[in-house]
Structures are given as C-alpha cells and as structure tokens.
Amino acid sequence: MRLADRVRDLGTETAFEAAARAAALEATGRHVIHLELGEPDFDTPANIREAAKRAIDEGRTHYAPPLGLPALREALAADATARKGFAVTPDRVVVLPGAKPSIFYSLLALVQPGDEVIYPDPGFPIYESMARYAGASPVPLPLRPENGFRLDPDELEGLVTPRTRVIVFNSPGNPTGEVLTRDDLEWIAGVAQEHDLVVLADEIYGRLVHEGEHISIASLPGMAERTVVMDGFSKTFAMTGWRLGYAILPQPLLEPFRRLVINSVSCTATFSQVGAIEAITGPQDAMEAMLAEFRARRDLIVEGLNAIPGLRCHRPAGAFYVFPDVSGTGLDGRELTDRLLVEGGVAVLPGTAFGRVGANHVRVSYANSRENIALALERIAEVAASLVAGSR
C-alpha cells in the first residue's frame, strides 16, 4: 500500500510505547512499578461521574454543538476569567475532545510550508510532531538544566526569524514540572509582540501548582488577542479517558476551529461535557485532595532521588513529574531507562522522549501511590548502586 508522505514524519508519544513495553514485561510475570505515565492514578471524583451517568440516563447521548455545550462554554469562560486573570467571553471558548486537539487545530490553522514554530526542548513531543505535520519547520528552544529549565530570553530572541509564526510553551511544564515566572512570560510576550507572533500556551497543568502561582500569558497586556490558551480536564480532575479539553481563542481562529472540529470529530461527547460542567462548578475538595497528595509525593520522590548516588533532582513547583540528571551513574537517560525496567522493574521515560536537551535525564511521573514510589526508590537505588560501583 502506498502511504501519503504526510504521515511518514508524524512523531509519536513514547509514553504509550514505554507503557506497552512495561506491560509486556509484566505479562511474563515480572512486577513493574509504573512511573512512566502522564496520568493521575486517582479515579475521577464521584460527583463528576454521577453527573455524567445521569446525563446518559437522561438521553444526553446525541451530537452536541461543534464548539461545545453553551452551558459548559459559559462555565469555562467564568472559570477562566476568575482563574486566569483576563476577561473571557463564552464565544471565545471551544470545547474539544482533550487538550491535544488544540495543538493540532492551532498549528493546522496557523502555519504552512516555509513557516517556523518555536517549541520547548525538553517539551511535550506533540508540538514538534504537529508543527512538522502542518508543513512548518519546528525550531527547538532549549530549556537548559543549568538554567533551572527556564528559558533564556536572549536565546529565544536569537531563534526568531522573519519566518517564525508561533511560539509554543507549557507551564507548569512536562517533563520538568517547572513553572515559568512573570519575568519569563513578559519576555515571551515581548518577543511575540515585537515580531507579531501567535503564542500557543499549554496550561494543562495550570492548577497543579505546589508553590508560587501559575500566570496565564494571556493576562499580560495585549496578549489575549495573540494567544491560544489550551487547557483541559485530563490532569486536573483525573479525567484522561473522558477526552475533554478546551481552548480560549483569538477571534480570527474561531471559524477555522469550528470547521476543523466539524471536519474531524463533529463535537466532544455530550455526556462528557455534562461531567465537565460538574467538574468546574461543583465542589473542588476532591481535586484539592489530589493536589495535596501530589505535593507530598513530590517531596518524597525529590528527597529519595537526591539520596541516591549518581542522581541529581531539582524540586519542581508544578505538574506531577521530576526530571533528574542521571549522568552520575555513568549512563545516559536512555540507557538508564532500559536498566531500570529490565533490572529494577521500574518504568520511567528517557529524557530524549522530550527532545535533545534531556539526554542525561529521565522523566519520572509521581502519579503513583507513596507506597509504590517508596518501593521504586529502593529499586532505583539498587540499580544505581550497581552502576556506580561498576564504574569505579
């Protein structure tokens, strides 16, 4: 069968493949601790599940309007206005099946061959993949470990050319968990305004902040009109399988998004959207309990990893990932990932799953119980000790 050229270079998310590898090992009878997955281990809170079940029983199983249920768009606009610090009207909110389609549709709508898209390295692999799929050249912006995984404003400025159209960034960030400061955002905003660029701000971890605050770049003066804010329910409310996300769009992108939705998925599942209304307007205590638990796990894992000779771990302020430097073991991130799985029964991801900068790192997700994290730390310590001893 002859396949179209455009699918040849489509990237992927190694997390799904790593999970399959770990599952294959488990199928042979090995016990594996999963620290590779980017999804909360909690169940969706009961009030949200009940709302969606009721919706199904009430027959809300038909198509919804392409841009989302009006009641959800209104609730999201009110929520975003309160939390993100800029005035959002319901007509600018588009409900989508996950946060991912925001990346897809934004880049399809904004770039074409000859254009360039700046994206974070390390960063979520879909930015680069989708920029290339849309015909543009992806340009990595290094977030260097020695700089605390923050961006270097001069480096950002240096990457902009007359062909640059979009800057993508993600804060709190996957895979580092780092949260950009107001200064960082002002730098990005300044560059975007000076060169007339669109910003794609991935705020999917925006409510998962352990210290400091999450600031939306769209709240800075003049930025709402050039920013696509993407957010969703997957991480905040443990709703990965519901496929629920949303984008807040500048006016010119509304019609392209409407058409892209109609051409691809028609709408987001109606009863999922009813669950989403409950998620944002109902009690927040389950969500807050999850966040508190993530914070305790972060402290456990950062302390545990830093106690292991050969590993060095920063203390990120957000999301549920850490991104330790493993070069002290004598191996790079990919080699250590293999050894941890095969010898230790611990699944993590190599830093290179997120770009080149993270070659000496692994991404460890702490979306697992404290008990499993403690056991994983013991196993990682054993593997690392054998490596450090072997390299002497």
Q: How far apart are CA 257 and CA 105, in angstroms?
A: 6
Applying CB under 6 A, what is the total number of residues that bind ligand PLP? 13
Contact 344, 15 (CB under 8 A): no
Site membership for ligand PLP, residue 36 (CB under 6 A): no
- CB neighbours (10 Å) of residue 59? 9
**String of contacts with ligand PLP for each residue 172-201, x by CB under 6 A:** --x---------------------------
Site membership for ligand PLP, residue 11 (CB under 6 A): no
**Which range in 22-30, 55-63, 232-240, 371-379 contacts ligand PLP by CB under 6 A?**
232-240
Q: How far apart are CA 43 and CA 32, in angstroms?
A: 21
Q: Where are the beta strands (DSSP E) in the chain?
A: 33-34, 93-96, 116-121, 137-142, 164-170, 198-202, 227-232, 245-248, 321-322, 346-347, 349-350, 362-365
**String of contacts with ligand PLP for each residue 128-167, x by CB under 6 A:** ----------------------------------------
SS3 232: strand
Site membership for ligand PLP, residue 76 (CB under 6 A): no
Q: How far apart are CA 378 and CA 392, in angstroms?
A: 21
Q: Which residues contact 317 (CB under 8 A, 6 or more apart)?
A: 172, 177, 178, 179, 209, 210, 211, 212
Site membership for ligand PLP, residue 232 (CB under 6 A): yes
Q: Which is nearer to ligand PLP, 247 or 384 (CB)?
A: 247
Q: How far apart are CA 10 and CA 4, in angstroms?
A: 11
Minimum distance, C-beta of residue 221 to ligand PLP, in the bound complex (Å): 26
Q: Which is nearer to ligand PLP, 104 or 384 (CB)?
A: 104
SS3 142: strand
Q: Which is nearer to ligand PLP, 208 or 331 (CB)?
A: 208
**String of contacts with ligand PLP for each residue 238-277, x by CB under 6 A:** --x----x--------------------------------
Q: Which is nearer to ligand PLP, 220 or 319 (CB)?
A: 319
Minimum distance, C-beta of residue 179 to ligand PLP, in the bound complex (Å): 13
**Which range in 44-52, 70-78, 98-106, 158-166 contacts ligand PLP by CB under 6 A?**
98-106
Q: How far apart are CA 217 and CA 224, in angstroms?
A: 8
Q: Which is nearer to ligand PLP, 116 or 231 (CB)?
A: 231
Residue whose Cβ sits closest to ligand PLP: 98
Phi then psi dihedrals of residue 359, to 5 deg: -60, -30
Site membership for ligand PLP, residue 169 (CB under 6 A): no
Distances, alpha carbon 159 to alpha carbons 37, 107, 118, 139, 353, in Å: 32, 19, 8, 8, 22
Q: What is the DSSP string of 70-107?
A: HHHHHHHHHHHHHHHSS---GGGEEEESSSHHHHHHHH
Site membership for ligand PLP, residue 100 (CB under 6 A): yes
Site membership for ligand PLP, residue 98 (CB under 6 A): yes
Q: How far apart are CA 391 and CA 18, in angstroms?
A: 27
**Which range in 76-84, 93-101, 342-350, 358-366 contacts ligand PLP by CB under 6 A?**
93-101
Q: Which is nearer to ligand PLP, 15 or 75 (CB)?
A: 15
Q: Which is nearer to ligand PLP, 171 or 219 (CB)?
A: 171
Interface with ligand PLP (CB under 6 A): 38, 98-100, 124, 170, 174, 202, 204, 232, 234, 240, 245
